[in-house]
Amino acid sequence: MSSGRGHPDIARRTREATTFLFVPGDRPERFEKASASGADLVVLDLEDAVAPERKDAARDHVAEWLTQGHECAVRVNPPGSPWHEQDLTALAGHSGALMLPKADTPATVQQVVRTLDDVPPIVALVETALGVVQAADLAAVPSVERLAFGSFDLAAELGVDPVDREALAAARGALVLGSAAAGLAGPIDGVTADLDDSDVLTDDVRYARRLGFTGKLCVHPKQLSPVTAAFRPGDDEIRWARKVVDATEAGRGTHGAVAVDGQMVDKPVLERAHRTLRQTGKAGEQ
């Protein structure tokens, strides 16, 4: 179970965020625009988006942005890389979330926790076979707020097409189950690389949502609106949820079971209805 005790605001944002927008750490002229894009959480990237010769400059730009009081997440370079420890040192003492790539084992995450005196909320990026099979244990590490799915790296390791849903279904399921078992919010799905076809993006998000994902890694601001819309419950879902909640409220104090559209309403069904309404900002008191 996560804590986020030293960083309650960014921990809450990390738990509740739907859209995570990557911005290269060596492009500081984009930081402000990204912050104003409507993304739930901006992720300043020190890893894949930055060439090796630009790592030091990117780290300096990101540290300066954090020093100015901006709240965001930072994807550091993976453990074992030449830049990992310097990244952690630069982030120490700042209010921000930390996205940890190649989060293979709980020991990997715990080593980061031991390195930092003031541990930030951590998004564990699961992108290897080892990480997938240990997803539940990763989710249970204190300070881990979310799991995220690194579909492209995992697909490369497995030798499969990253857009092949069937090939990666078991991995996605492991992250969903691991997150639920640890009491975390649903995991964050990986990147959709097609920037020009919003239908592909929308279909990807709807698929991930059906599995239990509640967020998406985005690589361009134009992906934000379609992702947000695709995660929003549909009109039929909202009407069903409202009927369930209203019927339950009306049936309080009676001894008969409540039914909606011929289906029995028990506690899990009511919880699902409330969760649906919360996603639309229309939840009533529970």
For residue 76 the two structure tokens come to 């550091």
In contact, 131 and 106? CB cutoff 8 Å: no
Average pLDDT, the chain: 90
Q: Are residues 49 and 125 in the same domain?
A: yes
Helices (H) and strands (E) in the chain, counts: 13, 10
Give domain status of residue 51, yes or no.
yes
Residue whose tokens read 């960083």: 7
Give domain status of residue 3, yes or no.
no
| Mean pLDDT score, 11-32 | 97
**Tens-place pLDDT, residues 52-68:** 999 999 999 999 999 99
Q: Are residues 99 and 197 in the same domain?
A: yes
Interacting residues of 98 by C-beta distance below 8 A, sequence separation 6+: 73, 74, 76, 91, 112, 120, 121, 122, 123
Residue 242's domain spans which residues? 235-280
| Mean pLDDT score, 96-104 | 97
pLDDT grade, residue 38 (50/70/90)? very high
Regarding pTM above 0.75, the answer is: yes
Q: Are residues 265 and 165 in the same domain?
A: no
* pLDDT at residue 283 is higher than 70: no
Q: Are residues 110 and 217 in the same domain?
A: yes
Single out the residue in 231, 248, 269 at which a domain terminates.
231
For residue 253 the two structure tokens come to 């104090």
pLDDT at 242: 76
286 against 122, higher pLDDT:
122
Give domain status of residue 112, yes or no.
yes
Which residues share a beta bridge with 236? none
Q: Are residues 66 and 80 in the same domain?
A: yes
Total domain count, the chain: 2
Secondary-structure percent of the chain, ordered helix, strand, coil, rounded to 5: 50, 15, 35
| Mean pLDDT score, 220-226 | 97
